[in-house]
Structures are given as C-alpha cells and as structure tokens.
Amino acid sequence: MKSVDSTLWIQPNTGATNESGFTAIPGGWRCHALFSGEFRGIGGYTYFWCSGGEENNEMYARHLRYNNARIIQEVLTNLPMGLSVRCIKDE
C-alpha cells in the first residue's frame, strides 16, 4: 500500500511494493491544538481516518510506518487530531 518512492519515506521503507495501487505517502498527523497543533511524523508515518466504531462513539484510524509492512488499525482517544482522508470506492 505504500509508495515505493524512496525520496518520500524514511528508510527502510519496509514492505513498499504498492501492489494494491493505493500509493500511500507519509503525511504524518496533526496534533491536537492543546498539544501545539503542529504536524508530526511526516516522512515516516501516515494516518487515515476510517469508518467503524460509531456505536461506542469511538474514532478509528489506520496507519502505516516506514519500518513496517503492515497496516495497523487503532482506536483514537486523543481527539481532535488531523489525519489524512482517502475515499475508496467499493466495487
């Protein structure tokens, strides 16, 4: 899922094959305004909002890291945060 462009991701860009065609780039995240509101993790991480968890009023994200080939899902408790959005069409 990660872009294979070696100028975007911190090395090693583990598992970057982009076989899916998703081409994720490492946009990092934006911190909560109470914690400075600055951008962090650019070049090494990318976070995306994802659906699910509405029944418990929880927010979910998926993220990719420069040193890991897996996409990781997590529940976010430190809201509001600025994360990337990528719309995907169900076929």
Q: How far apart are CA 21 and CA 42, in angstroms?
A: 21
Q: Looking at residue 60, what is its pLDDT?
A: 85
Residue 63 clears pLDDT 90, i.e. is over it: yes
pLDDT in tens, 16-42: 999 988 899 999 999 877 778 889 999
Q: Range of 7's domain?
A: 1-86
Comparing CA positions, the residue from 64, 20, 60 lying closest to residue 42 is 64
68, 81 Cβ separation under 8 angstroms: no
Residue 91 located in a structural domain: no
Residue 29 within a domain:
yes
**pLDDT band per the 50, 70, 90 thresholds, residue 14:** very high
Q: How far apart, in whole angstroms, are the C-alpha atoms of residue 81 and residue 47? A: 10
State the pLDDT at residue 52.
Answer: 67
Average pLDDT across the chain, whole number? 86
| Overall number of domains in the chain | 1
